[in-house]
């Protein structure tokens, strides 16, 4: 199971638990929106850590300069 699948299942479980607890639909939507945003950030960080993320480009499509940028250290 991929990280994306695992996180998706957790969001589904969160949605079900919130509905079962009787949380208002607008509050559920807000919480799930925040969870989805956090999930996307986690997947981007995972891609960056694995080296699978594309190099960001500037307007002309050329790779952005990384001169002077030090690699990020990730805690285990």
What pLDDT sits at residue 63?
A: 55
pTM above 0.85, yes or no: no
Six-digit token pair at 10? 């957790």
pLDDT at residue 48 in the model: 83
For residues 62 and 24, the model is more confident at 24
Segment 18-25 mean pLDDT: 96
Query: What is the number of other CB atoms lying within 10 angstroms of the CB of residue 60?
Result: 5
Is residue 2's pLDDT more than 90?
A: no
Statement: residue 61 has pLDDT above 70: no
pLDDT at 64 (0 to 100): 56
Backbone angles phi and psi of 57, in degrees to 5: -120, 160
């Amino acid at each position: 199971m991929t990280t994306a699948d695992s996180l998706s299942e957790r969001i589904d479980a969160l949605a079900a638990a919130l509905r079962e607890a009787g949380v208002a639909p607008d509050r559920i939507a807000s919480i799930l929106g925040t969870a989805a945003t956090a999930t996307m950030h986690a997947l981007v960080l995972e891609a960056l850590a694995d080296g699978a993320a594309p190099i960001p480009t500037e307007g002309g499509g050329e790779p952005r300069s990384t001169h002077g940028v030090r690699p990020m250290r990730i805690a285990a």
